[in-house]
Structure 1
Amino acid sequence: MDLTDAAGAAPMRLTMKPTKVPPGTVSLRASNTGTLAHEVVVLPLAAGQPLGKRPIVSDSRVSETGSVGEASHNCGAGEGGGIAPGSTGWATLTLQPGRYELICNFPGHYAAGMRAELDVSR
């Protein structure tokens, strides 16, 4: 997946391939092609819950309650202080069937468009 903030008029983006994986052990690799630090937090989406509609709280972030993991360690696995521009972070997770929203939860990044949906199904 790519994390892009394209300075200027372009919106921030989180893009990924593939967008569908089978249940079980999944390795996520996040490459930061932008100019700011980013992260990827994996949050389950409830049935019928639309992508990009999580409530934003006072610190310009969304709640990470229910997170199943994240890639936010610069040049490493798991949690850290963010993935620096030009670097890669990763996470290996065990995902159950369902829909997940992958987001950058740095202040303002989710609202700016840094989110994508992952379908975990057979």
Structure 2
Amino acid sequence: MIEVTAGDMGPGMMSGGPGGHMVMMRLQASANSVSAGQVSLLVFNAGALTHEVIVLPLHAGQGAGERPVGPDGRIDETGSLAEASQTCGPGAGEGIRPGTTAWTTTALQPGRYELICNFPGHYTAGMYTELGVTSP
């Protein structure tokens, strides 16, 4: 099981991030890599805002945080493999409320994946992390 923490500094609180970008949100996973097969994510929302975690494959040459963002502040979720966004429950829902958990389990093949929060503006604020999946 991978534990994922969704964090934010709350509304109106921002700090300077790498490259001079303003960052106020993050996703942090307890492991950067897992073996292929059934993978469970347990997501804790340590922030003040509602969040979610979606699993998307990364294509060759694509890095975490490089997906195009639409005018609505969200990325295209086409190809999503799993979602943890139900407060105190498994799978998809309306979001993980502050101080609560959600979880999801999915089968992952060897490759590179990105865990993201796709609430408007959260991805561009730094809510993504890469997960490598290796052969068993």
TM-score normalised per structure 1 = 0.98
Matched, 1:76 2:89: yes
Matched, 1:9 2:22: no
Count of residue pairs brought into register by the alignment: 122
Sequence identity, in percent?
Answer: 55
Q: Distance in 1 between matches of 2:63 and 2:25?
A: 19
TM-score normalised per structure 2 = 0.88
Q: Distance in 1 between matches of 2:70 and 2:14?
A: 25
One-letter code aligned to 1:40? V
Displacement of 1:18 after TM fit? 0.9
The structure where strand makes up a greater share of residues is 2
Aligned-CA RMSD value: 0.7
Choose the corresponding residue for 1:103, options 113, 116, 119: 116
What are the equivalent positions in structure 2 for 1:28-43 lying under 5 Å apart? 28-43=41-56
> Cα deviations across residues 9-60 of structure 1 (Å, max 9, x unaligned)?
2420000011100000000000000000000010000011111110001211
What is residue 59 of structure 2 aligned with on the other side? Answer: 46
> Following superposition, which runs of at least 4 residues in structure 1 exceed 2 angstroms of deviation?
none
